[in-house]
Amino acid sequence: MEAPGSGPVVDASGVRFRYEDPSGRAESVTLVQEVAYPRHGPSLVEVGEGKWEAGFERPPVDRLEYRFEVAVAPHHHELILDPANPLRAPGAFGERSVIEFPEYEAPAWVSTEVEAGAVIEIDVPSELLGEVQPTRIWSAAGADPAAPLPLLVALDGLEFDRFSGLLRLLDAEVAGGRLPPMRAALCHPTRRGDHYAANPDFAGYLARELIPAVGELVALRPERRYRVGLGASLGGLAVLHAHRLEPETFGGLLLQSAAFLHHGHVMGDSTFQRIEEFVSELLATPAWDDPVPLVMTCGTVEQNLVNNRECASALAIQGYPAALQVVRDAHNWIAWRDAWTPYLVDLLGRLWT
């Protein structure tokens, strides 16, 4: 038997979380996670001097990201990683400790080493948005800049690369012949909450400023089917919104955990009012003249799963070849990464080969 407080014990049914505090400073220890309600909990119980434990029944996920909140004084709380668990997951707001249940397997491409493609860093000037937009242009290894190739446009693309390994995926899939030689534009928003919240200026930027700017530096296939949009959370909403306002922008879409907020989920802020208005109009539209192939992914434990299901049904009724794929994870960078194979690769393969 392992001593109490020496790290998490994991099996197919759940986790026994353990925290060791040899200094005796902790007054309470609470699990902070995003796979079960309440998100803040359960509290660990002191089972010995400086040793804390709590059982956690497994939710319908294969991974679990978490931290501990440790109270060391009545008004001082520290949010920390699990010091007895070396497994980490990246994120825009810091790392998380990770539990991988026995069934979890990371995609094979994560550990594949192949020649990296060429990268150009640019700032795209935008009259519509009033400021330059940092962008990374990637081309498959060995690609001739003058050869017209398909383009993937990834919102939050710099973060997708940093936290999820997007360019490693593309390098591996092109090298393995599962994707044709291609290019990608990795976007980084300067005002994400405004730009991605059903903003018509941002939709116009993608269609009339970003893609032409990329095309001035590297050759692109002109047909719409050879441009695909990728976005997660608010980025997923923004990709679909751009398609609806500027139909020639994208010939295919992958929307991951898209922020289809409506029915009073958010109130007051004008940017979120735009989201609610867009989603409500989307759901009320009986048909659409210009649908494109579209795949959605969402985690089993995401609060927004019900809204994704509702929007997927509406899009299918409107004539989209649309499918919602529910993945056994939550709202995080690794969940989106793990869904790229097969869903992103299959979508690009269908459109481009």
At residue 1 the predicted structure's pLDDT band, cuts being 50, 70 and 90, is very low
My answer on whether 303 and 237 are in the same domain is: yes
Could you tell me if residue 2 is inside a domain? no
CATH number of the structural domain spanning residue 41: 2.60.40.10
Place of tokens 């530096």: 217
Contacts for 31 with CB less than 8 Å, ≥ 6 apart: 17, 41, 42, 43, 44, 54, 56, 66, 68, 69
CATH number of the structural domain spanning residue 340: 3.40.50.1820
My answer on whether 79 and 116 are in the same domain is: no
**Confidence at residue 5, expressed as pLDDT on a 0 to 100 scale:** 56
Per-residue pLDDT reduced to its tens digit, 149-207:
999 999 999 999 999 999 999 999 999 999 999 999 999 989 999 999 999 999 999 99
Domain stop point among 47, 73, 100:
100
My answer on whether 126 and 14 are in the same domain is: no
Tell me which residue range forms the domain holding 95: 9-100
Domain stop point among 68, 100, 132:
100
- Report helix, strand and coil shares of the chain as percent, to nearest 5: 30, 30, 40
The letter for the amino acid at 290 is: D
Count structural domains, the chain: 2
Residue 267: is its pLDDT beyond 50? no
Domain stop point among 35, 65, 100:
100
My answer on whether 114 and 21 are in the same domain is: no
DSSP classification of residue 290 = S
**Confidence at residue 188, expressed as pLDDT on a 0 to 100 scale:** 95
Distance of CA 204 to the CA centre of its chain: 23
22-51 mean pLDDT: 92
My answer on whether 346 and 198 are in the same domain is: yes
- The stretches of 157-297 forming alpha helices (DSSP H) are 157-164, 166-175, 192-195, 200-205, 211-217, 234-245, 270-284
My answer on whether 220 and 340 are in the same domain is: yes
My answer on whether 170 and 87 are in the same domain is: no
The letter for the amino acid at 7 is: G
My answer on whether 290 and 243 are in the same domain is: yes
Residue 4: how many CB atoms within 10 A of its CB?
Answer: 16
My answer on whether 23 and 115 are in the same domain is: no
Q: What is the spatial distance between Cα 48 and Cα 319, in angstroms, rounded to a whole number? A: 61
29-45 mean pLDDT: 94
Q: What is the spatial distance between Cα 90 and Cα 108, in angstroms, rounded to a whole number? A: 19
> Could you give the 3-state DSSP secondary structure of residue 206?
helix
Inter-axis angle of helices 305-317 and 270-284, nearest 10 = 40
What is the Cβ-side half-sphere exposure of residue 172, based on CA atoms within 13 angstroms?
15
